[in-house]
Structure 1
Amino acid sequence: MKEEEEKGELLVSERIYLLDGVHIGTQKKNADMKRFIYRVREDGLYVLDVKKTDQSIRFATSLLAKYKPENILLVGVRQYARVPIEKMSAILGAKSITGRFMPGTLTNPEAKQYLEPDLILITDPAVDEQALKEAVVVGIPIISLCDANNETKFIDLVVPTNNKGRKSLALVYWLLTREVLKQKGKIKNYDEFKPAVEDFETKI
């Protein structure tokens, strides 16, 4: 069966979402994420609804595509977020911060690393807390990847996903990149998008 036939209305097939662990949540649930949870496994792990993940990626890319790439900031403290963020940043021309987010980056004009983005995309509101706080202070739209245990307060657009896994982060950032290019008319079809998901994946 061809990939296009298999995936139906999804951006990639449900099988690929599941193989890359996008649906794997946590054993703790935040009430904010209840609407994105598909079921609870016998071991207590909350499973995310990949159809809602897919839909949210579409919403996120529609918003991202409205901004100039250089005015978008991608943020991720997590180790497995660095490669996908840097890849998306390089392809789109967006700014990125991986590793420690220095206090004052968005709020202190005197800071050496001061930036004035129009929109921010963060990987995990729990560990990217400093970036989230500063984005709230300066009043810019916030898109965030969120797992089952995340609080979504102050987040304008939630992308429900496993935001800790190496493969899941690679797939989600790959899809975000591809769909933004499609929205902007930079590629006419998916065949023109040459990077592979593996290019967005942290090597171990």
Structure 2
Amino acid sequence: MEEETQTISDGNLVPLDKYLAAGVHIGTQRKMKDMLPYIYKVRPDGLSILDIGLIDKKLGEAADYISKHPSAKVVVVCARDAGKKAADKFAEVTGAHAYTKRYMPGTFTNPEYKGFREPTLLIAVDPAGDRQAITEARSNNVPVLALCDTNNMTENIDFVLPVNNKGKKSLALVFWVLAREVLKKQGKLKSAEAFKVPLEDFEDTSEPQPEVVPKG
């Protein structure tokens, strides 16, 4: 496949073949203007391919961005079934909080709600599916880091992490790398090799279910 000719620098976070196997670079046939800078090429079948070198670079920057916030004040939201296990494991490993079931409106804005939370950073797996949480975070000036595919709008997103945010393997690898790198930057790991949580723990091996794509 032509996209396999992509290269990344020697200081990459994971080997190129690992990125390729997980499909972190596989976009969609729809490409939004906001995401054009992250697209490496468009295949003859119309499928957009993200730049793996940029993905690797942005993963490192994202980990640095996340590590500057107290773990207990970081919230991950994921309405997409494919990313729920990975998001939950990331939260468990780093000490963040995850909302992978229904996100209740008012969680960030209604102090009377028993589940009210005041995060200092929101991580959204999909700007479309996690729109309610993003809107509430922005209303409270909480920065938003979002995993964005080629078909996503980046309005109200403070940090764009360009990746395939639809595939189970892609999301597992992304959150595995983020967890490891955040712990390193927080001084909780001396090296990448000291991270003993296997990638398999982030992977969802359940049977695929039909996925409802959010409208709009």
Task: Provide the TM-score with structure 1 as the length reference.
Answer: 0.95
Tell whether the 8 Å contact from 2:107 to 2:117 is kept in structure 1 after alignment: yes
- Secondary structure (helix, strand or coil) at the match of 1:59 reads helix
Tell whether the 8 Å contact from 2:107 to 2:113 is kept in structure 1 after alignment: yes
Tell whether the 8 Å contact from 1:143 to 1:156 is kept in structure 2 after alignment: yes
Q: Which residue of 2 aligns with 1:99?
A: 101
Q: Deviations over 1:42-99 (max 9, x none)?
A: 1100000111111111111111111110010011011121111111111111111002
- Secondary structure (helix, strand or coil) at the match of 1:121 reads strand
Q: Which residue of 2 aligns with 1:3?
A: none
Counterpart-to-counterpart distance in 2, 1:191 and 1:121:
25
Tell whether the 8 Å contact from 1:121 to 1:142 is kept in structure 2 after alignment: yes
- Secondary structure (helix, strand or coil) at the match of 1:150 reads coil
Counterpart-to-counterpart distance in 2, 1:55 and 1:178:
15
Q: What RMSD in Å do the two structures reach over aligned CA positions?
A: 1.1
Counterpart-to-counterpart distance in 2, 1:27 and 1:157:
23
Tell whether the 8 Å contact from 1:7 to 1:14 is kept in structure 2 after alignment: no
Counterpart-to-counterpart distance in 2, 1:143 and 1:54:
16
The question of 1:10 aligning with 2:3 is answered: no
- Secondary structure (helix, strand or coil) at the match of 1:145 reads strand
Distance 1:14 1:200, change over 3 A: same
Counterpart-to-counterpart distance in 2, 1:17 and 1:7:
13
- Secondary structure (helix, strand or coil) at the match of 2:55 reads helix
Equivalent residue pairs, number = 199
Q: Which residue of 2 aligns with 1:57?
A: 59
Tell whether the 8 Å contact from 1:57 to 1:159 is kept in structure 2 after alignment: yes
- TM-superposed CA distance for 1:147, in Å, is 0.1
Q: Which residue of 1 aligns with 2:210?
A: none
The question of 1:34 aligning with 2:36 is answered: yes
The question of 1:22 aligning with 2:3 is answered: no
Tell whether the 8 Å contact from 1:86 to 1:96 is kept in structure 2 after alignment: yes
Task: Provide the TM-score with structure 2 as the length reference.
Answer: 0.90
Which aligned runs of 4 or more in structure 1 are off by greater than 2 angstroms?
Answer: none
Tell whether the 8 Å contact from 1:79 to 1:99 is kept in structure 2 after alignment: no
* One-letter amino acid of the structure 2 residue matched with residue 112 of structure 1: K
* 2:137 counterpart (132, 135, 138): 135
Counterpart-to-counterpart distance in 2, 1:202 and 1:7:
29
State the identity %: 45
